[in-house]
């Protein structure tokens, strides 16, 4: 096993692309080191990306925010501008693990670990976040929902690294929210979860919406019909009922020790309702 700490993304990509055996990217390590400890992976090469300039920063750009791949989730919670613009995204990131884990874990790691139950992912998808992928043939930007392809699998090709997550500036009169169900009060894996981002007009009518569900299918679900159930209406009881029904129907969950299919479907609807209510209030809707 080799450990390297490249200083540029180009060097990291080159090392990753040129590696013969199994190579792993290390940022926070809160998934990688656990898998190594458990004997599930034994990388030939560990590429620590924390010394690459810019990857440890949250930058405010003309379009919004660029969150580097090595920024710990705790830092997201300490960024007042990000918290104000995207409270749902920050809440979701802050739900991951304990304070000790918060000091290390990253949203890019959460995304690339590709767990269906990843907390930050539905919130990022609802927010329309994009991932900047650096690879041997240059950089490309893809929607966050295009990254996970199956539990534990991503669409990234050999040699590709996600270097940042981009969040646009939040549109005026918009709000986002994320909720998950766990049987404890904190530090658990989502049984099912929902992220909602919406925009309203002066009359309180929803003009744009994105609804994403977590732990409801092999990968995060962006539910277009749920957005359609909201757009063009105020968030009244009828709209909420329709949202819950559509979300329950869109789920393709599994039965496991944490919840049944029936339970996940029901709770997906409930959480979508509640997240939409919070997002609507944050947008200034009454």
Partner 1 sequence: MTGIAVSTTINGDTIEYLCQPDETLLDVLRDRLGLTGAKEGCGTGDCGACSVIVDDRLVCSCLVLGAEAEGRRIETVEGMAHGDQLHTLQQKFLEHAALQCGICTPGFLIAAKDLLAKNPDPSEEEIRFGLAGNLCRCTGYDKIVRAVQDAAHVMKGA
Q: Which is nearer to partner 1, 104 or 266 (CB)?
A: 104
The least CB distance from residue 37 to partner 1, in Å, is 5
The smaller minimum CB distance to partner 1, of residues 50 and 233, is found at: 50
Q: Which is nearer to partner 1, 62 or 185 (CB)?
A: 185
Question: What residues between 180 and 209 interact with partner 1 by CB under 8 A?
Answer: 186-187
- Smallest distance, partner 1 to C-beta of residue 112, A: 17
Q: Which residues of 89-121 are buried (b: 16+ CB within 10 A; e: fewer)?
A: bbbbbbbbbeeeebebbbbbbbbbbbbbbbbbb
Total residues binding partner 1 (CB under 8 A):
27
By CB under 8 A, is residue 260 in contact with partner 1? Answer: no
* Minimum CB–partner distance for residue 48 and partner 1 (Å): 6
Q: Does 286 bind partner 1 (CB under 8 A)?
A: no
x/- letters, 98..127, toward partner 1 (CB under 8 A): xxxx-xx-----------------------
* 7 near partner 1, judged by CB under 8 A: no
State the Cα–Cα distance between residues 23 and 1, nearest whole angstrom: 9
HEC profile of the chain: CEEECCCCHHHHHHHHHHCCCCEEEECCCCCHHHHHHCCCCCCCEEEECCCCCCCCCEEECCCEEEEECCCEHHHHHCCHHHHHHCHHHHHHHHCCCCHHHHCCCEHHHHHHHCCCCCCHHHHHHHCCCEEEEEECCEEEEEEHHHCEEECCEECCCCCCEEEEEEEECCCCCEEEEEEEECCCCCCCCCCEEEEEEEEECCCCCEEEEEEEEECCCCCCEECHHHHHHHCCCCCCHHHHHHHHHHHHHHCCCCCECCECHHHHHHHHHHHHHHHHHHHHHHCCCC
Q: Least distance to partner 1 from the beta carbon of 27, Å?
A: 11
Interface residues for partner 1 in 23-82 (CB under 8 A)? 26, 28-30, 33-34, 36-38, 46, 48, 50, 72, 74
Give whichever of 2 and 158 is closer to partner 1, judged by the CB atom.
Answer: 2
**What character string, x for contact with partner 1 (CB under 8 A) and - otherwise, covers 210-249?**
----------------------------------------
Tell me how far, at minimum, the Cβ of 72 lies from partner 1, in Å: 7
Query: What are the residues binding partner 1 (CB under 8 A)?
Result: 1-3, 5, 26, 28-30, 33-34, 36-38, 46, 48, 50, 72, 74, 97-101, 103-104, 186-187
């Amino acid at each position: 096993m080799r450990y390297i700490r490249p200083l540029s993304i180009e060097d990291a990509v080159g090392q990753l692309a040129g590696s013969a055996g199994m190579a792993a990217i290390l940022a926070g390590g809160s998934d990688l080191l656990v898998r190594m400890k458990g004997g599930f992976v034994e990388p030939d090469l560990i590429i620590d990306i924390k010394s690459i300039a810019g990857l440890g920063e949250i930058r405010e750009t003309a379009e919004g925010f660029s969150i580097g791949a090595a920024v710990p989730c705790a830092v997201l919670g300490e960024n007042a501008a990000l918290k104000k613009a995207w409270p749902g995204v920050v809440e979701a990131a802050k739900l991951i693990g304990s304070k000790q884990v918060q000091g290390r874990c990253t949203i890019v790691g959460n995304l690339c670990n590709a767990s269906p139950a990843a907390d930050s992912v539905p919130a990022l998808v609802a927010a329309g976040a994009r991932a900047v992928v650096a690879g041997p043939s240059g950089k490309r930007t893809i929607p966050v929902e295009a990254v996970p392809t199956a539990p534990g699998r991503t669409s990234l090709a050999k040699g590709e690294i996600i270097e940042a997550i981009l969040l646009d500036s939040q549109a005026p009169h918009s709000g986002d929210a994320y909720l998950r169900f766990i049987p404890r009060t904190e530090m658990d894996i989502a049984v099912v979860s929902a992220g909602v981002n919406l925009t309203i007009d002066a009359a309180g009518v929803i003009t744009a919406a994105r609804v994403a569900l977590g732990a409801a299918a092999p990968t995060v679900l962006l539910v277009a019909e749920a957005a359609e159930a909201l757009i063009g209406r105020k968030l009244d009881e009828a709209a909420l009922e329709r949202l819950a029904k559509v979300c329950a129907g869109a789920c393709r969950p599994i039965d496991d020790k944490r919840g049944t299919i029936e339970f996940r479907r029901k709770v997906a609807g409930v959480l979508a309702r509640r997240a939409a209510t919070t997002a609507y209030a944050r947008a200034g809707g009454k």
